[in-house]
Amino acid sequence: MAPRVVLEKSARTAPVHATSLGRIAPDQTIRVSVIVRRRNPLNLHALQGRRISHAEFNEQYAASPADFDQIRAFAKAHDLTVDEAASSLARRTIVLTGTAEAMEKAFAVELNSYEDTRRKRRFHAFTGKISLPEEHAPCIEAVLGLDSRPIATPHFRRRDTGSAQAQQPAAQSFSAVQVAQLYRFPANLNGSGQTIGILELGGGYTQSDLDTYFQSVGLSTPTVTAVGVDGGSNSPGDPNGADGEVELDIQVAGSAAPAANIAVYFAPNSDQGFIDAITTAVHDTTNKPSVLSISWGGPESAWSQSSMTALDNACQSAAALGVTITVASGDSGSSDGTNGTVVDFPASSPHVLACGGTALFANGTSISEEIVWDDQPQGGATGGGFSGTFPVPAWQTSALPSGSSGRGVPDVAGDASPETGYNVVVDGQQQVVGGTSAVAPLYAGLIALVNQQLASQNKPSAGFVNPLFYQNPISFNDITQGNNGDYSAGTGWDACTGLGSPKGDSILTMLTGVNSGSTF
């Protein structure tokens, strides 16, 4: 028997909040995404902010055909089938299907069935580590799909109409159009020629909801395209489920950039679905999103190391290709719903723009007050803190407190409190919804406006904006009041609201200026 080696960082612990149902049926079909190494290492710093074309990326940084041939040989030796149509050198993903029994032998794991006691969803998972034949292991970075546990939650919160805070005269809800105006988004731009990508791990939207909403704010309904990933689809119909997330994301992004097209990538809620959705969007040469909004995530502590590395690598590819990724930082304060101080992932990836939350108060068309979103203990609060996985990136070093050991979250913030939330339409009903989920598509809309302006100047897209943002903190409203649990707001960057909320016109000037290319 050929010697085997353990796949680095593949360790899994037993699922929490789940009941074991015993061994999986041996003849059940399992589908895995094998993430293969790059042909050459991708050094973003060496690119010095230069955007590369898809053709150059495929030539230099995709997987090599020889490595794919290695996986084909592995599959054949273990009675697995390669789904060539679903595989992609650019995405560095080769998809294998086979019986559970064959998968167990191929990857030396024991697959068990579980039921999630909170979501009432069944899934399969393993504990321990994956191992591979020594001859095939060097080219494999991650194997996704042997564990299909739900990995993320949508970061939106509905307004509690009975809360004392909601009844305060100062607290009012807004349309996303009003929020964009309060943040001085450039009124002479509308996102024309741009596509905003939105990632969803459940739920769906209806055309009637979108038409009702956009008519109510005096806008034409944008062109929205649903893209299925790994069998995911636009599946509306559960008003208490993820429909609120999907509708919020589309309605906020479409309000901020009303002439942009929107592509919504629907995937199953697992690390496989999440990562496949990101790589599908980033390498989508049909819809061509220049910005991708993600409002889903989970505590860093819930992810396997190999899955986090694979997802972060996908975000590095996005940065090289000039695709900005905006990510909600979480709605459960500094604990992220755990017993410690934990940040949410993928917001903690150093290659995304992590978006925290505020409570926004207005006097007419101007902001009268803005504080950290913190409705705890009954409600939610903006996620934020310091990564236990990713070190402090160079562009963030000078902004963080001295001695910070990990990447600081969030980078920026915007209106997220449900008490000062967004008026949206979900499953035919008018609702007020908040959460950092609203902030990611808000910034995605702003980036679409910036990219429209850049395109008119024959300049590349904004791409990875974080370094420029940290060099220009004056482009943000500094939030100095409030806390999210263990961290308090203060002058400059903080682990509640990052650099602050956007001054849209100033951000436009910054990102379209003469020396606007980001360096890493």
**Cα-based angle 140, 145, 150 (whole degrees, multiple of 5):** 130
Is 245 known to be catalytic? yes
Q: Pairing relation of β-strands 476-477 and 501-502?
A: antiparallel
- Residue 138 CB coordination number (10 Å): 11
Q: Of 67, 147, 249, 271, which residue is the catalytic one?
A: 249
β-pair partners for 18: 116
Of 290, 402, 396, which Cα lies nearest the Cα of 349? Answer: 396
| Catalytic member of 437, 461, 475, 516 | 437
Answer yes or no: are the C-beta atoms of 34 and 70 closer than 8 Å: no
Going by their DSSP bridges, the two strands 157-158 and 429-434 should be labelled as antiparallel
Q: Is 306 a catalytic residue?
A: no
User: In the Cβ-directed half-sphere of 115, how many Cα atoms lie within 13 Å?
Assistant: 5
Q: Which residues contact 152 (CB under 8 A, 6 or more apart)?
A: 201, 269, 274, 296, 297, 298
Return d(Cα 249, Cα 439) in angstroms, integer. Answer: 9
Contacts of 492 (CB under 8 A, 6+ apart): 399, 473, 478, 499
Long-range contacts of the stretch 165-171 (C-beta < 8 A, 24+): 165/375, 165/419, 166/419, 168/419, 170/361, 170/369, 171/359, 171/361, 171/419, 171/420
Report the C-alpha gap between 228 and 249 in whole angstroms: 17
Distances (CA, A) of 64 to 59, 94, 316: 9, 11, 18
147 assigned to active site: no
Three-class SS of residue 276?
helix
List Cα–Cα distances, 357 to 68, 314, 382, 417, 500, in angstroms: 43, 25, 5, 7, 9
- Helical ranges in 63-112 per DSSP H: 65-77, 100-107
Which amino acid would we find at residue 372?
Answer: V
Phi then psi for residue 5, to 5 deg, are -130, 150
Tell me the three state secondary structure of residue 467.
helix
Q: Which of 141, 209, 243, 245 is catalytic?
A: 245
Give the Cα-Cα-Cα angle 124, 130, 132 (nearest 5 degrees): 130
Give the Cβ contact number of residue 376 at 10 Å: 15
Task: Answer whether the bond into residue 346 is a cis peptide, omega within 30°.
Answer: yes
Catalytic residue numbers?
245, 249, 437
